[in-house]
Amino acid sequence: MAKISGEEKQAAEFCITHDRDYALTAALFGFTSQQVYSWVRKYHAAGINSLRHERKCPRELSDWVTENKQLKTVNLKLEMEAVLHRKLQQGRVYYKCLNRTVSQKQIEDEKLAGLITEIYQAQRGIPGYRQMKIILDRRYGLKYNLKRIYRLMRVLGLRSVCRKKKRLYKKKTPSEYVAENVLNREFSSDRQNETGRMRSG
């Protein structure tokens, strides 16, 4: 238990002797009126010893060490559980992939991919996905979405051969009339508009 400060005791006794004038006591001793009020109440209830403040004993170092060890053990256990959980999740995905049933659309995509590859090789890699759709529609009577054919060709790595067009170059013919070189690169003149007259003749 902490010791009672002399000011607290004096303030409580002063307030009691002066008809419990809390405002006056607070102003004289530099406390708040609420503090003075609580000290006076404690003083009346259980005497002078009630003004002592109980302090909790600080925890011993051994308690902190024990708690730290316990927390480390719990942490290690949780880490091991997390690793095990990750491993089990990987196993679950692997076995799910093994046991999953192949959908009808996937079977159809595989057949269509084989047919697209055959057509592509027969046409020497010329058709793209647009031409491939036309070939499938007209020759085989198969109507598929353009995006589906594009997706399958992209997965298979099939692309159309794009040939660059040859640029047409026009041969330059020499002009019929060539003007005389009157100025001969002498652009300075003494008089106004002299060079213009020389060019116009």
Give the residue carrying structure tokens 């060709």: 153
Residue 108: pLDDT band (50, 70, 90) is very high
Is the overall model pTM greater than 0.85, yes or no? no
Least confident of 155-159, 176-180, 195-199: 195-199
Q: What pLDDT, in 10s, does the model give residues 127-147?
A: 999 999 999 999 999 999 999
Q: Which residue has the higher pLDDT, 50 or 163?
A: 163
Q: Label residue 181 left, alpha or beta by phi (over 0 means left) and psi (-120 to 50 means alpha).
A: beta
Length in residues, the chain: 201
What digits encode the pLDDT tens for the residues 39-77?
788 777 666 555 555 555 566 777 888 888 889 999 998
- Distance between terminal CA atoms of the chain? 124
Residue 21 CA to residue 29 CA, distance in Å, equals: 12
Q: For position 184, what pLDDT does the model report?
A: 74
Query: Are 183 and 168 a contacting pair, CB within 8 Å?
Result: no
29: CB partners within 8 A, 6+ apart: 7, 10, 11, 14, 36
